[in-house]
Structure 1
Amino acid sequence: MCGRFALTLPTDAMAALFGAIPANDLPIVPNFNICPTNNVHVVWTGENRRLSAMRWGFLPFWYKTPTDGPLLINARAETIAEKPAFRAACRERRCLIPTTGFYEWSKGSGGERLPWYIQRADKAPLVMAGIWQDWGEDKLPTCAIVTCAANQAIAEIHHRMPVVLEQADWAKWLGEGGHGAAPLMRPAGEDVLRFHRVDPKVNSNRASGPELVEPV
């Protein structure tokens, strides 16, 4: 799964990287501790590519309030095309969620939660596959991260991981490059990511600062 991540790339750099028009209400960066229900940066395609803010926590159209059901921050690749909450978005509203890296937790010998920071080995922005949907009368934009089974390296920490998209696949995932996005929902190659242990203070959603991603 993916339940927390960081983003340090400046807005103008993101807009240039994705060839997207930035909105005026984007979240402040850098942010080293992005949590569920926060607004996050999302790249999607309308008439043009857009870089917008969306609530991390997908809201199905039948939710009467944001807390009407489970908090849907992730969508499983294996069932996304079948689940009523996600299947329309999977066909019609796919997006890119840029990050610098994401956090995952393993269990220590005493059952304690041990945090790890995972980033690209080449230090390029790590782009996750997502889906989005407007919700309610006010059309609140919401999104979820698509996850898949972990590759062998990440499985040492957790059995799930976000779908990591290479730049050559961005257009196809966004629906700009024709059909056939399903094969992109696979684990990253074994040499794509690297990870290191970080301080347990990131276990708190109130923690902040660049020290959260420093190795310990």
Structure 2
Amino acid sequence: MCGRFAITLPNDAMARLFTAAPANDLPDGPNYNVCPTTRIHVVAGSEGGRRLVGMRWGFVPRWYTSMSDGPLLINARAETIAQKPAFREACRERRCLIPVSGFYEWTRDSSGVRWPWYIKGPDTLALAGVWQNWGRGGESVESCAIVTTAANAAMSPIHHRMPVVVDRADWGLWLGEEGHGAARLMRAPDEGLLRFHPVDRAVNSNRASGPDLIAPVSRDNPEPSQ
């Protein structure tokens, strides 16, 4: 599962990092509380080279008559993505990278209280994604979903699912620039890649914003447990 994340890298730095041509209407940043249905930064391949564009986070299948015609598809499971009607064509033809500075997950204590954690790498993470161009009645939108897989041992105390993180050396393969073989990338990252720390419960609100959301906080129960 990946249902909330942060992106703090400026647009021009993001374009340089991914060697991508930036669109003119990229989302504003930084954003420390990116929520589903938000327009997010996406790196997609094209015949003219990589492009950095804004897409709706919430994949809209072609057969939806409106963007809210069915379930909100923010994640696509790696184990079934090639078989699911919503994702199987995009998995073959429209893979993308979603830059994030880190993402959030939650655990619950014995009282049912949700406690947030911020998970990050040593640098900007490139999450595996798939995208779709949907249109009805003159309305058109590009939308995407994050590919997830079973959590590795380091992540599993917080959540049983995690995003697929694509190593920099594999960006071209995932984007379809280097032939076939992208399926092998849909796995959990090495256990040493990600670090996590508890953050303030303010992030439980999708209206919260600001850098304090990712700042470490002290807790009486600092160790994650589900």
Q: Do these two structures clear the TM 0.5 threshold for a shared fold by scoring above it?
A: yes
For the aligned residue pairs, the C-alpha RMSD in angstroms reads 0.6
Q: Which residue of 2 aligns with 1:34?
A: 34
Q: Which residue of 1 aligns with 2:223?
A: none
Report the Cα distance in structure 2 between the residues aligned to 1:119 and 1:93, rounded to whole angstroms. 26
**Structure 2: gaps spanning 5 or more residues:** 218-226
Report the Cα distance in structure 1 between the residues aligned to 2:107 and 2:153, rounded to whole angstroms. 15
Q: Which residue of 2 aligns with 1:8?
A: 8
| Equivalent position amino acid for 1:7 in 2 | I
State TM-score, norm by structure 1: 0.98
Deviations 1:29-57 (A, max 9, x none): 11000000000000001121000000000
Q: How do residues 91-102 of structure 1 correspond to structure 2 at under 5 angstroms?
A: 91-102=92-103
> Is 1:131 equivalent to 2:130 in the alignment?
yes
Q: How do residues 55-94 of structure 1 correspond to structure 2 at under 5 angstroms?
A: 55-94=56-95
| Equivalent position amino acid for 1:131 in 2 | V
Report the Cα distance in structure 2 between the residues aligned to 1:87 and 1:51, rounded to whole angstroms. 23
Q: Which residue of 2 aligns with 1:209?
A: 210
Q: Which residue of 2 aligns with 1:192?
A: 193
Structure 1 window deviating more from structure 2 (145-154 vs 129-138): it is 129-138
Percentage of pairs with the same residue:
66
Deviations 1:76-103 (A, max 9, x none): 0000000000000000000000000000
Report the Cα distance in structure 2 between the residues aligned to 1:77 and 1:140, rounded to whole angstroms. 24
- 1:139 to partner: Cα distance: 2.8
Report the Cα distance in structure 2 between the residues aligned to 1:106 and 1:80, rounded to whole angstroms. 26
Structure 1 window deviating more from structure 2 (88-97 vs 105-114): it is 105-114
Q: Which residue of 1 aligns with 2:18?
A: 18
Report the Cα distance in structure 1 between the residues aligned to 2:113 and 2:64, rounded to whole angstroms. 34
Deviations 1:109-165 (A, max 9, x none): 211111000000x2x101100000001143310000000000001101000000001
Report the Cα distance in structure 2 between the residues aligned to 1:136 and 1:205, rounded to whole angstroms. 28
Report the Cα distance in structure 2 between the residues aligned to 1:201 and 1:141, rounded to whole angstroms. 30
| Equivalent position amino acid for 1:6 in 2 | A
| Equivalent position amino acid for 1:13 in 2 | A
Q: How do residues 123-162 of structure 1 correspond to structure 2 at under 5 angstroms?
A: 124-137=123-136, 138-162=139-163
Report the Cα distance in structure 2 between the residues aligned to 1:205 and 1:114, rounded to whole angstroms. 15
Q: SS at the partner of 1:100?
A: strand
Report the Cα distance in structure 1 between the residues aligned to 2:157 and 2:21, rounded to whole angstroms. 39
State TM-score, norm by structure 2: 0.94
Report the Cα distance in structure 1 between the residues aligned to 2:92 and 2:32, rounded to whole angstroms. 31
Report the Cα distance in structure 2 between the residues aligned to 1:67 and 1:133, rounded to whole angstroms. 15
| Equivalent position amino acid for 1:141 in 2 | E
Report the Cα distance in structure 2 between the residues aligned to 1:112 and 1:71, rounded to whole angstroms. 25
Q: SS at the partner of 1:106?
A: strand
Report the Cα distance in structure 2 between the residues aligned to 1:211 and 1:109, rounded to whole angstroms. 26
Q: Which residue of 1 aligns with 2:222?
A: none
Count residues with an aligned counterpart. 214
Deviations 1:158-186 (A, max 9, x none): 00000001100100000001100001000
| Equivalent position amino acid for 1:209 in 2 | G
**Structure 1: gaps spanning 5 or more residues:** none
